[in-house]
Structure 1
Amino acid sequence: MKTRALVAEGDNCDGGAGAQKVRVEEEVEAYPTGTVDLRCQFIDGGGRTKLTQVSWIWEPSDGQRDNIAVYHPIYGQSFPNLGFKDRVVFLHNSLENPSIRISGLKMSDAGRYTCEYATYPSGNEQGTTTLVMLDPPSVSIVGYDNNWYIGRSDAALLCLATANPEPTSVTWTTASGPLPDTVAVDGNKLSVRKVDDAVNTTFICEAKNKHGASRQQITTVVIGADLFSKVAAKDNLCSAQGRVDATSQIRVDFRCFRSQSFDLYLGIKETGNLR
């Protein structure tokens, strides 16, 4: 958890009459599942302000303000927001120092937290802390459809990385080292110019930001590589062209010099070997 020095919000800075201050941290950084302390202190230079009640108000980046903790010297503590109940506590039973602790942090807890006093005679006084939730990258790979057959030209993989702050780099490699010559990388996208034996491999995507790195891998299986060589070897007067149909069968068009042609259907395993 990273914090900054307490600062006071108010119009006056001379410590004289009317110099009421709510002292808070401008920004606090924390990680999901962790704990964070949000500090608040009332500074009354003249000692003439009567504190009635203090509330902590949470304002998410994409939502409305909502009370999460209230302290009253007579009626005690209240935690009206069910999403924070049992996760937020007051560190002191004190109006002058109503700092709170939030545990079991979630990414959705990020936002502005305002420590707001009801006072007399000056009215409400407040100070706001911004909670920034940090998140090392989380990586997933999408796009593989188990149908990478020899000659296919539209195969591609996407590396999806979520993090706060955003990843500073996304890198593609294979389990055996450098990428094959038949692939091209543009940012988080890996495109296969033409599927061949070289992409029968395990691709690895790694994303980094200043808080860490994460990687994910996927093994791609090329369909038909062994099959075509076996068919072509049967007769050196013939050639074979093929594709994968919707039932995961190879459709082979076997053509010979006598201008005869016929279709041969062969089942394959995922490895591309004949059954």
Structure 2
Amino acid sequence: AFNKYHDYYYYSLSPPPLCSSPPCPFTQILPPAPNSGAQNVRVEVIPVVRGRLGGTVDLPCRLLPTGPDVKVSQVTWVRWDRVGRSYSVAVSHPEHGASFPDPEADGRRLKFLSAGSVGEAALRDATLQVRELRAQDQGNYTCEFATFPRGNSKGATWLRVEAAPQNQAWAQEVTQGSVPATVAFCVSSAGLPAARLSWSTSLTHKAKVTQEELSNGTITVTSQLTLLPTRDLHGQTVTCKVEHETLQEPQILPVTLAVRHHPEVTISNYDDNWFIGRSDATLNCDAQSYPEPTVYNWSTLLGPLPSTVVVQGSRLVVHTVDSLVNTTFVCSATNAVGTGRAEQTILVRENPNPAGAGATGGIIGGIIASIIAMAVVATAVLICRQQRKERSPEGHSEEDDLGGPPAYKPPPPKVKLEEPEPLQLFSLDNCEHSPLKTPYFEPSVSTTEQDAPRYHELPTLEERVGGSGLRGPVPQEPGEEEEEDDEDDDYLDKINPIYDALAFAAAEAYQKGFVMSRAMYV
């Protein structure tokens, strides 16, 4: 049936299935409503449209082309709330134009984009523009075309309004105790939809999450982290993770916990070497607390401090050690939570303690010196090895080593030498010859066999030319000059006796005007 609103007629529509979050179960192109008698009349919409709070968004809705006999009589936009109630928000008529049921609330924010067009063509594009988006604008919207004679065709769109939240996290100062307390907050303010918050920590904890809807429809989410407040908890870091549809990736917010606790006091700088006459001996009062100590107090177990002691805040100074400081000093530190104290007994000696600071320093110095010495030795060894590698030519092989002289001298063979015989000499003047005998050694012959020959004798030139009538030279006694040369040649004989066995015999060649050089052996 038709309903009349401000003299405009529109169809009453049954509510479509509600959609609380995308994607919604609506098709992009919807067929005509059942039992309407329509044929081949379809509506094109976008199933989900997103818009930012305070911004502008378009809700597309178009009637696909039909035959010339199909006439559009009216277009209506309806919004469905969370409980299933429907509200007409905009109507377009071919004769009366566009109208809005609530001109004060919606008339200035809603607009048909085809409002400037004329005739029935303007009704086939019913795209609705929504300006100044509000959180209340979020919901299911139905666009319905009333056609003649085909009946009604409609399509549904889910409008999702989003607002980027403001996220922050901070620590809540608590006092050390035995009852769990809230130590940190993480808040995501004015988001739409609500943000998801979670804590990341290895500590045993509990998280309490609450939501608050603001007047503009946005939601603030708060998460409280609850832990047992101990002094060990102070200074540790926990993280809050914020997830939201407007964020490309989760936002991580670190929080450093703060637990107030009384001071934990220790006394340092005593070296067990306080002796009579020592100057400027000091003690330090070290306090670990939150907040920091505001008052330091020095005393002794016996009462007030000796007159030779000077207090400088957390520091106690003894300019000259005497027997009066042979006592137990007490340091107390106070902050807003409480007071902590520590004691240190001083033993004053007549003479310096050799096992005290000096001996300790000597031991430490010796250890450091040993480490340095070992490092220097190791470095020197590595450098030497590197230099040896650099000196060795590339491609060096065992064959190159064999090319040089041997690293050791083999023992000389024990040979039986015969009497030296005259050398064979040649004279360029008369072509006379002197006898020559060349020894030939057999190293394989055992040295114990004295009777067996150790070498073979080659026939001398005299024997070979005897049949030819040639006459060899007559041996002569060498002179004094020759004896001096023989003394120089004894050097080789001393190096190895084999040179003596292979040496040329002395000859009288010097008297005949020619000289033969001594042979070289390798």
TM-score by length of 2: 0.36
Where does 1:218-237 land on structure 2 (aligned, <5 Å)?
222-223=259-260, 225-226=262-263
Residue 9 of structure 1: aligned partner: 31
C-alpha separation between the residues in 2 aligned to 1:56 and 1:142? 46
The Cα shift of 1:123 comes to 3.3
Change in CA separation of 1:190 and 1:127 when aligned onto 2, cut-off 3 Å: same
Which amino acid counterpart does residue 36 of structure 1 have in structure 2?
V
| 1:97 aligned to which of 125, 133, 136 | 125
Which amino acid counterpart does residue 131 of structure 1 have in structure 2?
L
C-alpha separation between the residues in 2 aligned to 1:103 and 1:38? 11
Where does 1:158-237 land on structure 2 (aligned, <5 Å)?
159-161=186-188, 164=193, 167=196, 170-172=198-200, 183-185=203-205, 190-196=225-231, 198-199=233-234, 205-209=240-244, 211-212=246-247, 213-214=250-251, 222-223=259-260, 225-226=262-263
Where does 1:129-140 land on structure 2 (aligned, <5 Å)?
129-139=157-167
SS in 2 for 1:84: helix
C-alpha separation between the residues in 2 aligned to 1:199 and 1:103? 50
Change in CA separation of 1:235 and 1:7 when aligned onto 2, cut-off 3 Å: farther
Q: Deviations along 1:63-102, whole A, 9 cap, x unmatched?
A: 5211111112222221223443322211112111111111
Change in CA separation of 1:60 and 1:217 when aligned onto 2, cut-off 3 Å: farther
SS in 2 for 1:206: strand
TM-score by length of 1: 0.62
| 1:68 aligned to which of 89, 93, 105 | 89
Change in CA separation of 1:221 and 1:143 when aligned onto 2, cut-off 3 Å: closer
* Percent of paired sites with the same residue: 24
C-alpha separation between the residues in 2 aligned to 1:203 and 1:111? 38
Q: Deviations along 1:195-234, whole A, 9 cap, x unmatched?
A: 4374368865330245314566778654453599879978
**Quick check: which one's strand share is greater?**
1
C-alpha separation between the residues in 2 aligned to 1:185 and 1:83? 48
Structure 1: 5+ residue stretches without partners:
173-178, 238-265
Residue 107 of structure 2: aligned partner: 85
Aligned-pair Cα RMSD in Å? 4.3
Residue 38 of structure 1: aligned partner: 59
Residue 242 of structure 1: aligned partner: none
Which amino acid counterpart does residue 100 of structure 1 have in structure 2?
L
Change in CA separation of 1:170 and 1:113 when aligned onto 2, cut-off 3 Å: same
Contact (CA 8 Å) 1:60, 1:109: kept in 2 or not? no
C-alpha separation between the residues in 1 aligned to 2:44 and 2:154? 9
C-alpha separation between the residues in 1 aligned to 2:100 and 2:300? 82
Contact (CA 8 Å) 1:137, 1:207: kept in 2 or not? no
Q: Identify which of structures 1 and 2 has the higher relative contact order when contacts are C-alpha pairs closer than 8 Å and 6+ apart.
A: 1
Change in CA separation of 1:186 and 1:58 when aligned onto 2, cut-off 3 Å: same
C-alpha separation between the residues in 2 aligned to 1:193 and 1:34? 46
SS in 2 for 1:37: strand
Which amino acid counterpart does residue 155 of structure 2 have in structure 1?
G
C-alpha separation between the residues in 2 aligned to 1:234 and 1:118? 95
Which amino acid counterpart does residue 234 of structure 2 have in structure 1?
V
The Cα shift of 1:53 comes to 1.5
Where does 1:248-267 land on structure 2 (aligned, <5 Å)?
none
More off after superposition, 52-61 vs 183-192: 183-192
C-alpha separation between the residues in 1 aligned to 2:140 and 2:50? 12
Q: Deviations along 1:133-189, whole A, 9 cap, x unmatched?
A: 344455466995x6x22214221245455554853x6345xxxxxx6x7x4345655
Structure 2: 5+ residue stretches without partners:
1-25, 116-121, 208-222, 266-286, 288-292, 302-333, 340-522
1:56 matched to 2:77? The reply is: yes
C-alpha separation between the residues in 2 aligned to 1:29 and 1:5? 17
C-alpha separation between the residues in 2 aligned to 1:166 and 1:62? 23
- State the number of aligned residues: 227
Residue 120 of structure 1: aligned partner: 148
SS in 1 for 2:42: strand
Contact (CA 8 Å) 1:18, 1:46: kept in 2 or not? no
Contact (CA 8 Å) 1:115, 1:128: kept in 2 or not? yes
Flag the structure with larger Rg.
Answer: 2
1:155 matched to 2:181? The reply is: yes
